[in-house]
Amino acid sequence: MQHHLEESKVHIERLNQLINSIDGQPYQGKLGLPLPKYPQTMIEKMNNSMTKQEWELKKSEEDLISESAESVCYLMLIQKAQMAGGVFQNAIEPLSLNMKDEENMAEWIKTNTPLMLDKLWPQIEEAIASSPLESSPASSSQSLSQSR
């Protein structure tokens, strides 16, 4: 996370320089990135049933989506800069450096997901086994139908 934070500062600095170099005004706010939006009833179910470890996995999933979305945005910008030519050619290098970092971060998450699952899965199973939610309607009806 510390590494990602440092990297993001470098990205912002590169983008600020780039925007300033073409007499633009860098936007200081935060852009939202696309993440899945769940219906209210689903969110409530998730809040009531998901373990801390499952949320950790969900967060990692969202991180992967964000990193991938960032790299797509850079890819499109790079292609537009190539097309526009002229002064926009100067944008290609800094945008490519940023894109590479985003791709590497997405790769890192993908590569480490099996390790994360290995670590969290037994904890999730343990948490579910020892939770009163085990007798939730879904699982109890399932076990009822299995016992019949």
> Which positions lie near Fe ion, rule CB under 5 A?
67, 70, 102
Q: Rounded to the nearest whole angstrom, what is the least distance from the CB of residue 67 to Fe ion in the complex?
A: 5
The answer to whether the beta carbons of residues 88 and 19 sit under 8 Å apart is no
Q: Rounded to the nearest whole angstrom, what is the least distance from the CB of residue 114 to Fe ion in the complex?
A: 21
Decide whether 96 or 136 has the Cβ nearer to Fe ion: 96
Concatenated DSSP letters of 5-21:
HHHHHHHHHHHHHHHHH
Decide whether 91 or 102 has the Cβ nearer to Fe ion: 102
Decide whether 54 or 103 has the Cβ nearer to Fe ion: 103
Closest C-alpha among 65, 78, 12, 9 to residue 36: 65
Decide whether 3 or 119 has the Cβ nearer to Fe ion: 3
The answer to whether the beta carbons of residues 50 and 58 sit under 8 Å apart is yes
Q: Rounded to the nearest whole angstrom, what is the least distance from the CB of residue 93 to Fe ion in the complex?
A: 18
Q: Rounded to the nearest whole angstrom, what is the least distance from the CB of residue 73 to Fe ion in the complex?
A: 10
Neighbours of 95 (CB within 10 A): 24
CA distance 53 to 61: 12
